[in-house]
Structure formats: C-alpha cells, structure tokens
Amino acid sequence: MVDTDFSKGNLMFWKKNSQTQSTAQVDEPPDFLLEAEQLLLRPDMLSVAAGIEPTPRPLRVMLSAGDGAEFDAAINSLFALLHGPNGRYRKIAAFAFGQFGFNPDPLTDILRERCVADPAPDVQRALSAALMALQAASGSSEASQLARRRQMWNFYRGR
C-alpha cells in the first residue's frame, strides 16, 4: 500500500476547509431576504407549477418601494413561497419575513396560522423564530435586519 496522507487518516480536504473558515463565518446567519430573492427571481419548475411566479425585480428593491404596488407584489411573492411545496423554501420565506421586520397584525396572524398548519417541524420552528423577531421589530434598517437575523438564527438553533 502506498503511504499517502489519506491512508494515514489525514483528511486533507477537511483540514484545509476547517482551517480557512473562521468561526464568525460559520456562525453568521444567512441573509434570508437575499436567499428568497434568488429563489423568486428564478423559481424552479415545481414552484412555478405551484403558482409561484418570478418577481420582475429583486425582492429588496421591491420591498424598498414602501407601500406601493411593488411592495404588495413582493409581500405576495413571499407569501406564495411560504405556501409552496418546498419545505426549505418555506423556511427561507419565514425567515425573510422576520428579517424584513414588517409586522402588521394581518401579516403576523397569517404567519401564526401557517405555523400551526405547516407539516414540517423545521418550518414551524422557523415561523416561530420569525414571529419572535417580528414582535421585537424596530424598523427595517440593515442594522436591525442583521440583529433580527441573528436573533432568529439563535432561536432556531436553540441558543
């Protein structure tokens, strides 16, 4: 047998990646609005078949439109993703609502109903985290969005 690093139990790939990633990068929560935006700009075929239509512009741009028609279309697109067939996408949509911080009573009521009705426990947990973040929402600035992302991520992971 050839004497290689791998035969000695030396997992070079793992060592290399673990040495290059800092703990801050690993523990930092994803940008859920960005993830939702990417899904909604180019939804997959299953999502399109379920009625999720692509957004004409990036989600953040549409949400920054204020209370106009684009804002409503962005919120409706997130709701469509939240009710779609893909559990991972539903979880991303739940977190995106919490990250954005828009929390009128009708929205939080729908999120509570969805939390009870969703068949996936991880989506229910994500919805609970989003509702918790929305309860403490204090604006939609980037700093408060980051704080809500961290708060939701810690709650979701049980920290």
Of the pLDDT bands very low, low, confident and very high (cuts 50, 70, 90), residue 28 is: confident
**What pLDDT, on a 0 to 100 scale, did the predictor assign at position 156?**
93
What Å distances lie between residue 134 and 13, 14, 111, 151, CA to CA? 40, 38, 10, 10
**Six-digit token string for 84:** 């779609």
Average pLDDT of every residue of the chain: 84
What is the reported pTM? 0.79
Cα(100)–Cα(92) distance, integer angstroms: 12
